[in-house]
Structure formats: C-alpha cells, structure tokens
Amino acid sequence: MKGKTFIIAGPSGVGKGTITKELFARQKNLYFSVSATTRAPRPGEVDGVHYHFLSREEFQQWVQQDAFLEHAEYVGNCYGTPKKFVDEAMARGEDVILDIEIQGAEQVHRKRPEAIRIFIAPPSWEELEHRLIGRGTESLEKVRSRLARAKEEFSAAADYDYIVINNSLEQAVAELQAILLAEHCRPDERVNLINGIG
C-alpha cells in the first residue's frame, strides 16, 4: 500500500510544530519531510536529520532538475522540499507529513494536486496574538505584522481539504489522525483490494 502526502500548513505561531510532533509520537509509518537548505549548519545540526545541507550550486542544480516540490529564498538562504525523499517514503508505504508555509503549500499543490491539504487554524485571532506575544521573542510591531499576514493567509483555508483548529492539542491530534485514516479509505486506494472484480 502506497503512502500519501499530507500538507500541514498554517500561520506562524499556530502550533503546527507541537501538533506534528505529537502526531509522530502516536503514529507509526509516518515520514517527516526534511527540508534542504543552503544555510550553514548550526552547532548540533545533523545533515539529513535537521536539514539536507546543500551548497548554493547544488541547490540551483536541484531547482533546474525540478527536484523540489517547493522552494523559496528567505533572508538570503534557500530552502526547499526534495521530491526524492518524499517519493521514497511513499513507495515504502509511509505517509509523508510536510510541515510548510502557506506559499510552499501552494507550490506543492500545483505539482501534486493529490496531496491532502490541512490548514491548522487558531481558535481565534485574539488567541493567536496572545500566543505570538507569549513567545516574547518579537516586538509588538512584528507580532502585528505576523497577525495581519495570518489573516491574509487564512483566506486560502477555504480551498484546503481540511481545517484543524488548534484549540486543544488532544483534539487537534485526534483530528489529524482521523484525517489520515479516512484518507486511506478513499476508493482510489481501496477499489482494487476486493478480488474478483470485473
């Protein structure tokens, strides 16, 4: 049985990382897509685990070979989702989880319309603001700009396959697990499992 690709996207601060981590703690047969990047490894970062570290030349070569499902430049460094590892995991029968930004999700959707898109939403904008402020790492101005961007990005959510509202971690992870299982009950996967057809 081939795995499927699940795009998990949502605004900054919504808790995607926590939800995804908990999903992996509970469920087997999942592959977390590791990004490629041109930025230098930080102390403790392992090639192939935290990132696939590439030189700028290698990265450009991958782009030219259409080896990325999506890629972007951010503060002078390139980031991308390599097709190769995603496809290998699916061939092994693992479901692939892509934890990416809204723009990246758009790119993947164009290349792989069959990938299932899940939008992680905050219970309310007030709550998202509260969480962004709670991080304490950014100025109020930066928080407000992130919030404005989150509201803008939310307009894309209606086109997603699913919206998971991160109100409680328990409920959010249960919903993700339900979505994964339900998507494996689709006819394209199942119709050939019954023998003697035709």
Point out which residues bind a copy of itself (CB under 8 A). 118-119, 121-126, 151, 154, 157-165, 174-175, 177-179, 181-183, 185-187, 190-191, 193-197
With beta carbons less than 8 A apart as the criterion, state whether 31 and 97 touch.
Answer: yes
Please state at what angle helix 140-154 crosses helix 125-135, rounded to 10 degrees: 140
Give the residue with the Cβ less far from a copy of itself, 19 or 78: 19
Report CA dihedral (15, 20, 22, 26) to the nearest 10 degrees. Answer: 160
Tokens found for residue 141: 């101005």
Least Cα distance to 183 among 99, 71, 105, 90 occurs for: 90
- Identity of the residue, 10 or 80, whose beta carbon is nearer to a copy of itself in the bound complex: 10
Q: Smallest gap, in angstroms, from Cβ of residue 157 to a copy of itself?
A: 6
Q: How far is the CB of 120 from a copy of itself (least distance, A)?
A: 11
Q: With respect to a copy of itself, which residue has the nearer C-beta, 88 or 183?
A: 183
Q: Identify which of residues 65 and 155 has a Cβ nearer to a copy of itself in the complex.
A: 155
